[in-house]
Amino acid sequence: MATIRVLSRSPTVAAASSLIRPGQRCCARATSGSAPLLLPRVSVRRKSGPYGYTQAKSLVFSQYGEPEKVLKLHTHSISPSLPPSSVLLRTLAAPINPADVNTIQGTYGVKPTFSPLIGTSEPSVIPGNEGVFEVVNPGSSSSTLSKGDWVIPAKTGFGTWRTHAVAPSPSSLIKLDRAGLTPLQAATVSVNPSSAYRMLRDYAADPPLREGDWFIQNGANSGVGRSAIQLARLWGYRSINVIRARSTAAATEALRAELAALGATRVVTEDELQSRAFRADLAAWTRDAGAPRLGLNCVGGASARALAKALAPGGTLVTYGGMSRQPVALPTGLLIFKDLRLRGFWLSRWADAQPDDKARTVAEILDLVRAGKLTDVPVVEVPWEWDTEEGVLREAVQGTLEGFRQGKGVFVFKDT
Ligand SMILES: NC(=O)c1ccc[n+]([C@@H]2O[C@H](COP(=O)([O-])OP(=O)(O)OC[C@H]3O[C@@H](n4cnc5c(N)ncnc54)[C@H](OP(=O)(O)O)[C@@H]3O)[C@@H](O)[C@H]2O)c1
């Protein structure tokens, strides 16, 4: 899959709001999870400051709004004398997920905590829930980590859109076996593939999905959808995959072919799903094993309704996204006569409650990646270099919720 790269327009100066000016008072604060650290401010912007200080940059927001309006690039220093339990990290790659944008807009289900921990003039949040870091300083000698290890945050809300981070302890991180992985693969493992994995495994009830069973999903070309297709192929499940038609018939066929190559059993457009002919097609395809018992809903609205209609009696519709911004409204009869189960999936709830399960799921998925059984999702690489302009980073975030994208934006940190 081709990787597209967004190029910075010119090396430039960071935004005025993020500059640490000469003559300012001599202390800023660096984040270490809960404990603020007092750090000297410095007037020059460079990666390794004097006396072992690490120069770092973070995207931050101090009020909710559109990313292009509220995101700022903030420069700060990290002290070399960190608490012994903490771990100094350098970011390698961090995706820009739809939920990150909803968080910045203030429309996400949970609200972040605004704090002045990295010396911003107003209480702020560092966005980004997913990403991979390299350990620069593992902390005390009893640390379970070593310099050069790759780690991901154990829980959500870590704030990954930054060049460096200080984790409060090794236990706040999950160590990855980095052998054979690219930073992009490691950075994108914990949200989309893990969501697809858990929904396919945990949500079809009485009994769980078995080899040969069908499931149906919309948003099938999304990161989650592509992972679900590939995991289903590996586990022997058959999939009906709903996509939106592209601007030309040829482009629609190309997308169908792409998903079929990943292992999709059937690919239909939204129009086909909602046509009269679909009912007969569905019956013919699923004659031997029965109608799908599981539906994965990324979209909502009419698409979710059509998925629900395709389910077998007693089937489960799991809603994990709302890309159409339309509510999930179902005909009463689907509940009374088909006794459908409506569930919601939220990865954070699962991962934060069971970090060990998260670590196991991630490790299993990465084994599949190494074995070439899970291919990379299409991404738009956004190089983040020391001099990358604030505007370039903001623009990369802004388009995330638009449809018909070429790939998921991922910040790839270079020379920071
Ligand atoms: N609940 C959870 O724990 C959880 C975990 C992971 C992801 N998610 C959610 O899952 C969704 C997909 O995430 P992702 O990272 O996989 O996204 P992604 O790779 O960026 O894919 C976005 C998907 O949404 C579709 N889409 C965009 N706008 C749409 C619209 N107006 N109507 C219908 N479909 C539209 C796109 O189809 P086109 O190509 O046709 O535009 C594409 O299939 C997001 O809502 C995300 O928040 C939730």
Same domain for 125 and 19: yes
Q: Do 182 and 199 belong together in one domain?
A: no
User: What span, in angstroms and rounded, lies between the C-alpha atoms of 75 and 56?
Assistant: 6
Q: Which domain holds residue 26?
A: 4-188+379-413
- CB of 296 closer than 6 A to ligand 1? no
Work out which ligand 1 atom sits closest to the CA atom of 225. Answer: 16
Has residue 55 been placed in a domain? yes
Same domain, 173 and 306: no
Q: Is 356 contained in some domain?
A: no
Band (pLDDT 50/70/90 cuts) for residue 47 is low
Contact predicate 73/14, CB 8 Å: yes
Instruction: State pLDDT tens for residues 68-101.
Output: 999 999 999 999 988 989 999 999 999 999 999 9
SS (H, E, C) 259-312: HHHHCCCEEEEHHHHCCCHHHHHHHHHCCCCCCCCEEEECCEHHHHHHHHHHCC
Number of continuous H segments (helices) and E segments (strands) in the chain: 13, 18
Same-domain status, 65 and 205: no
Pocket lining: 408 vs ligand 1, CB cutoff 6 Å: yes
Domain assignment present for 372: no
Distance separating alpha carbons of residues 4 and 194, to the nearest angstrom: 24
Asked if residue 388 and residue 343 are part of one domain, the reply reads no
User: Is residue 344 domain-resident?
Assistant: yes
Residue 197 in contact with ligand 1 by CB distance below 6 A: no
pLDDT at residue 415 greater than cutoff 90: no
Do 182 and 267 sit in the same domain of this protein?
no
Q: Which of 328, 348, 368 is the last residue of a domain?
A: 348
SS3 at position 133: strand
Query: Among 309, 326, 348, where does a domain finish?
Result: 348
Q: Is residue 89 part of a domain?
A: yes
Q: Are residues 133 and 259 located together in one domain of the fold? A: no
C-alpha torsion 203→208→212→213, nearest 10: -50
| Ligand 1 pocket test target in 230, 252, 323 with most atoms within 8 Å of CB | 323
Residues 6+ apart with CB under 8 A from 377: 1, 188, 192, 223, 226, 227, 407, 408
Note the pLDDT tens digit of each residue in 321-375: 999 999 999 999 999 999 999 999 999 999 999 999 999 999 999 999 999 999 9
Q: Is the CB of 221 under 6 A from ligand 1?
A: yes
Atom index in ligand 1 nearest the CA of residue 220 equals: 43
Task: Say whether pLDDT at 45 is over 60.
Answer: no
Q: Model-level pTM?
A: 0.90
How far separated are the first and last CA of the chain, in Å rounded? 27
Residue 178's contacts (CB-CB under 8 Å, 6 or more residues apart) are 149, 150, 186
Residues 203, 178 share a domain: no
Tally of structural domains, the chain: 2
pLDDT at 143: 83
193 lines ligand 1 (CB under 6 A): no
Overall size of the chain counted in residues: 416
* Pair 325, 212 in one domain: yes
Q: Is 244 in the pocket of ligand 1 (CB under 6 A)?
A: yes
CB-CB contact of 187 with 95 (8 Å): yes
End-of-domain residue from the set 348, 369, 389: 348
Min mean pLDDT across 104-113, 141-150, 243-252, 303-312 is at: 141-150
The string of pLDDT tens digits covering residues 118-147 is 999 999 999 999 999 999 999 987 789 999
Indicate which residue's Cα is closest to atom 17 of ligand 1.
222
- Which among 108, 224, 252 is the best mutation to test ligand 1's pocket, defined by most ligand atoms within 8 Å of the CB? 224
Q: Measure CA 26 to chain center.
A: 37
- Both 213 and 176 in one domain: the answer is no
64 part of the active site: no
Residue closest to 297 by CA, chosen among 233, 343, 262, 258: 343
Q: What atom of ligand 1 comes closest to residue 226's alpha carbon?
A: 16
Say whether both 105 and 149 belong to one domain. Answer: yes
CATH number of the structural domain spanning residue 282: 3.40.50.720
The helix (run of H) or strand (run of E) holding residue 243 is: strand 238-243
| CATH number for position 153 | 3.90.180.10
How confident is the model over 379-407, as a mean pLDDT?
96
| Tens-digit pLDDT profile for residues 210-266 | 999 999 999 999 999 999 999 999 999 999 999 999 999 999 999 999 999 999 999
Q: Are residues 161 and 81 in the same domain?
A: yes
- Determine the pLDDT at residue 50: 65
The answer to whether residue 248 sits within a structural domain is yes
CA of 275 to the centre of ligand 1 (A): 23
- Choosing from 107, 129, 222 the residue with most ligand 1 atoms within 8 A of its CB, the one to mutate for a pocket test is 222
**Span of 37-41, 263-267, 302-306, 311-315 with lowest mean pLDDT:** 37-41
The residues near 30 (Cβ < 8 Å, ≥ 6 apart) are 36, 37, 39, 56, 76, 77, 78, 79, 117, 118, 119, 166
363 is a domain residue: no
Model pLDDT, residue 1: 42
Residue 122 lies in a domain: yes
